[in-house]
Amino acid sequence: MKCDVLIVGAGFSGCVAAQRLAEKGLNVLIVEKRNHIGGQCSDKLDENGVMVQTYGPHIFHTKFEDVSEYLNRFTKFNDYKHKVIAKHKDKLYPVPINLTTFNKFYNLNLDGEGMKEFFEDKREKIDIIKNSRDVILSRIGTELYDAFIKYYTKKQWDCYPEDLDKEVLERIPVRFDEDDYYFSNELQGIPINGFSEMFKKIIASPNIQIKLNTDYKDVINKIDYSKLICTAPIDEFFDFKFGKLKYRALKFILETKDKELFQENSVVNYPGPDVPYTRITEFKHFLNQKTDKTTIMKEIPTWEGVPAYPIPQKETKELFKKYQELAENTKDTYFLGRLGRYKYINMDVACKEALELADEILETI
């Protein structure tokens, strides 16, 4: 087999890089070990007629207009705007924590200024913020932390916030108004025919060939290529030379409910230690589908299964650096995406970085 560029992985990163290279006239071969395209973002209609996202709920959102324009060449997005509700002791609260969460939790009726003053009293005065626990306690004190953050984090990461880099929970805002949208990005939505249909269109070029059900390790020696883009795990590429990079994985439990609606919102978080799952997604909300039955998904974080989240800790970052140095010295080979670069990235960043890498490669050819 012969191609200009061999791409490992048909996820967001691999498909977008392939499209850009193919549109500029290069021949691209994508090798994907799964039996479908779209990687973690793939979706399909299930027996209830509900569009289910196989690897957990995905909502497109971005502040990058160029990324939005690019993707709009392949799909229309609906106007879904994501909200998340958390269930604590049988009551529902918006998250991230905002003025509504605060007033409902403390049974108050304050405005934003009042909320700020309240937390000035409640928050812990910590001089040097060393970890994610310090971040939250120094903002809102222990009560909301215990209710919404502490055990959710333990379930998600298998450690408490004091063992996580401060950057992890720094990303989560506390809002002093009633804004209950989950993302602050303006451009948001779900592809109207689903993500998998979008990926089909992205790679629909005669210059792109795809081989599914194929692990690249089994075929790489039989392929004649000039450049390689690897969106598979970087440590696996180098045969785990320095050891394995850790990932938190997810177990998904799908259930059919014989009713039109199971919950009032697409995603309900369960931040308490009483149940093993972190959230329940009811997919039909995303595309506003009308069906007699509904499909829900419970997510249970584990250490086994398809890698989901790189571990945001010092040791893993240091290990990744060793692989990165090796990668920089490997000729004509580029690493891309959440597994290739060992970092959590949203879809818009995956898209942006794939376009940038493709352009960089095009300049060298």
Ligand X SMILES: Cc1cc2nc3c(=O)[nH]c(=O)nc-3n(C[C@H](O)[C@H](O)[C@H](O)COP(=O)(O)OP(=O)(O)OC[C@H]3O[C@@H](n4cnc5c(N)ncnc54)[C@H](O)[C@@H]3O)c2cc1C
> Residue 18 Cβ, how far from ligand X at the closest point, in Å?
11
Residue 94 or 310: the one with the smaller Cβ distance to ligand X is 310
Nearer to ligand X, 165 or 215 (CB): 215
Task: Map residues 304-323 to x or -, x wherever contact with ligand X holds by CB under 6 A.
Answer: ----x---------------
Rule CB under 6 A: choose which of 139, 150, 175, 338 binds ligand X: 338
CB of 43 to ligand X, least distance (A): 12
Sign of CA pseudo-dihedral 222, 227, 231, 233? positive
Instruction: Determine, following the binding rule CB under 6 A, whether residue 12 of this chain makes contact with ligand X.
Output: yes
| ∠ CA 248-54-341, rounded to 5° | 45
Query: CA-CA distance, 136 to 169, in Å (whole number)?
Result: 7
345 part of the interface to ligand X, by CB under 6 A? yes
Unique residue bearing structure tokens 């969106």: 231
Q: Count the site residues for ligand X by CB under 6 A.
A: 33
Listed ranges 57-65, 104-112, 238-246, 288-296: which one lies at the site for ligand X (CB under 6 A)? 57-65
The yes or no reply on residue 8 touching ligand X (CB under 6 A) is yes
Residue 239 φ/ψ, nearest 5 degrees: 50, 35
Per the CB < 8 A criterion, the answer to whether 53 and 241 are in contact is no
Contacts of 231 (CB under 8 A, 6+ apart): 7, 8, 9, 11, 13, 14, 17, 39, 335, 336, 337, 339, 340
Q: For the chain, give the number of residues.
A: 365
State how far the Cα of 87 lies from the Cα of 257, in Å rounded to an integer. Answer: 19
- For residue 152, which of 342, 279, 11 has the smallest C-alpha distance? 279
Min dist CB 212 to ligand X, Å, is 9
Side-chain-facing half-sphere of 292: CA atoms under 13 Å = 2
Out of 4, 11, 17, 71, which residue is the one contacting ligand X (CB under 6 A)? 11
Q: Is 245 in the site for ligand X (CB under 6 A)?
A: no
For residue 267, the minimal CB distance to ligand X (Å) is: 9
- Residue 340 beta carbon to ligand X: minimum distance, rounded to whole angstroms: 7
Distance, CA of 134 to CA of 125 (rounded, Å): 9
User: Rounded distance, CA 71 to CA 348, Å?
Assistant: 9
Whole-number minimum distance, CB 298 to ligand X, in Å? Answer: 12
Lookup result for tokens 């039989």? 222
Query: Does the protein bind ligand X through residue 339 (CB under 6 A)?
Result: yes
Q: Examine residue 286 and tell whether it contacts ligand X (CB under 6 A).
A: no
Told to check if 350 binds ligand X by CB under 6 A, we report yes
Q: Which of residues 218-237 bind ligand X (CB under 6 A)?
A: 231-232
Which part of the chain contacts ligand X (CB under 6 A), choosing from 93-101, 127-135, 266-274, 344-352? Answer: 344-352
Q: By CB under 6 A, what part of segment 118-157 binds ligand X?
A: none
The footprint of ligand X (CB under 6 A) covers 8-14, 31-34, 39-41, 56, 58-60, 215-217, 231-232, 250, 308, 337-339, 345-348, 350
